[in-house]
Homo-oligomer: A and B are copies of this chain.
Amino acid sequence: MTNANASITITAFANSPDKGEGHARDMRVRWALEEVGESYSVRLLSFDELKTSSYLVIHPFGKIPAFEQDDLVLFESGAIVQHIACKYRGLLPPDANARERAIMWLFAALNTVEPPIVEREAFMLLERDKPWFGERLNILDDNVRMRLQELSDWLGDAEWLEDSFTVGDLMMVMVVRRLEDAGQYLFDEFPTIAAYVARGEARPAYQRAFADQRAVFLDSESVSAGSE
């Protein structure tokens, strides 16, 4: 839940390029905070503001989200989500080894599954008019398929990656759902993965987080409509 007086503040895009579809990386942090039941305030930044020296001190790569609470400042969505999972209850199981396994899946989402998905996404956005577009898209699709197949094989009939929903599932769902829309046909080839993502998106905490980030987009739309 957002609350202007919360001790936690995160940064997010004032005008997200995803138009409220929940692909900007503040969504991961919002979802984590909803799962553990912590309220937070949001500082919206324009693209120009991300590259100012006052923000680069907080986030040297000039991206969103950053996280601030008391005297702790963090950037990098994986680190922020892990911090939330370790500090509050709800995203990690009680058993020590099971916690390690959950965090392992957080890293797997970010370092093994996300890179080929984001590479493909950037390619579709930036190189659609290039003569090599079709041939290279096939290569990039196959790179994504390989990871989806491995993930699908691991999941099998299971509901989540390990025995219960954890921070690892949260990040894996966030990463794989980037394929919705521009990669829908890849998604459709792996019903096990599609069902897994749908289970994640059905969680009440996800729904609340999604609605809150979407409200930012809807507000910005009405502001720009009003200024016309």
State the A residues within 8 Å of B (CB): 56, 60-63, 71-72, 74-79, 82-83, 97, 100-101, 103-104, 106-108, 110-112, 114-115, 118-119, 126, 130-132, 136, 139, 147, 150-151, 153-154
Complex Cα–Cα for A56 and B97 (A)? 19
Complex Cα–Cα for A82 and B112 (A)? 16
Complex Cα–Cα for A130 and B62 (A)? 34
Complex Cα–Cα for A175 and B136 (A)? 25
CB neighbours of A74 from chain B (8 A): 100-101, 104
CB neighbours of A139 from chain B (8 A): 126
CB neighbours of A111 from chain B (8 A): 76-78, 110-111, 114
CB neighbours of A61 from chain B (8 A): 108, 112, 147, 150
Complex Cα–Cα for A126 and B119 (A)? 15
Q: Secondary structure of the A side of the interface?
A: helix
Copies of the protein in its oligomer? 2
Complex Cα–Cα for A130 and B138 (A)? 14
CB neighbours of A75 from chain B (8 A): 104, 108
25 pairs, A vs B, C-beta closer than 8 Å: A56-B153, A60-B150, A60-B154, A61-B147, A72-B97, A74-B101, A75-B108, A76-B108, A76-B111, A77-B111, A78-B107, A78-B110, A79-B100, A79-B104, A79-B106, A79-B107, A83-B100, A110-B110, A110-B111, A111-B111, A111-B114, A119-B119, A131-B131, A131-B132, A132-B136
